[in-house]
Amino acid sequence: MLTLTAAQTAWALASGGAVGFALALVGGGGSILAVPTLLYLVGLADTHLAIGTSALAVSVNAFANLAMHARQQPVKWRCAAVYAASGVLGAAIGSTLGKLVDGRQLLLFFAAAMVAVGIAMLRPKAAGGNPDVQLNARILPKLAILGLLTGLASGFFGIGGGFLVVPGLMAGSGMPMLNAVAASLLSVGSFGFTTAANYALTGQVHWIAAGWFIAGGLLGGFLGLRMAARAARRKGLLNRIFAGLIFVVASYIVWRAL
């Protein structure tokens, strides 16, 4: 059985808390730090083990956040379900491909994905859309294709993919950003669960580390949500600061990998 030292347990709890806190404040993109913290702070020795563990933690936290969002605002369940269902297939394919890639090369790909997330966080986000949109024959194929592609990327990199899912849902259905954020959590949770299950089949999930990371993430998310309303007016500044942190971590990953 994989075990953790007392120091590793503390780092897993603290890292999960930091990621959960960041997710509550900045939204999509926060979970991109899960893999680096599991590798370089918690000390998991293998890239694939960190990705499988991260995917499980991201999945649980996403479903927990979905439950909270669903009580506060309507979720476009049919649109969300189509996107998530096709994305699950993509995540299964992507995670299978990811397991075949050498760990050092996969880290370099992951660093490139981090840069993409950072750039996406710096771009202004349109909030318009049709709040009354319903699933129909015109919308369904667009959601299915975009969901498949997003799930493929999510599974390959072992990330939640919220920064891709939100604009994908908006582009595919025309729903407003507020609805897309809530609906995206179903996909993020489903993609993460699929990726984690695929990695678990080959013993590449550290269950104990995931448990402490999830516990920290739930606590950090709760504290972050309490601060989110007060920080809303500084959301742009928070995004810029967090994007800068992502660029720094991506540079560190490249330095370590090379």
Nearest to 18 by CA among 2, 38, 43, 45: 38
**Euclidean distance between the first and final Cα of the chain, in Å?**
31
How much is the pLDDT for 84?
95
Residue 140 lies in a domain: yes
Residue 78 lies in a domain: yes
How much is the pLDDT for 184?
86
Domain that holds residue 60: 6-257
Residue 1 lies in a domain: no
Residues 161 and 152: beta-carbon distance below 8 Å: no
pLDDT digits (tens, 9 = 90+) for 159-204: 877 778 888 888 898 888 777 877 888 998 999 999 999 999 999 9
Mean pLDDT within 55-71: 83
Cα separation of 161 and 157, whole Å? 9
Residue 178 lies in a domain: yes
Structurally, the chain folds into a number of domains equal to: 1
Report the percent of the chain where pLDDT is more than 70.
90
If one compares 72 and 209, the residue with the highest pLDDT of the two is 209
Q: Find the range with the poorest average confidence among 66-80, 85-99, 135-149, 231-245.
A: 231-245
How much is the pLDDT for 30?
66
Residue 138 lies in a domain: yes
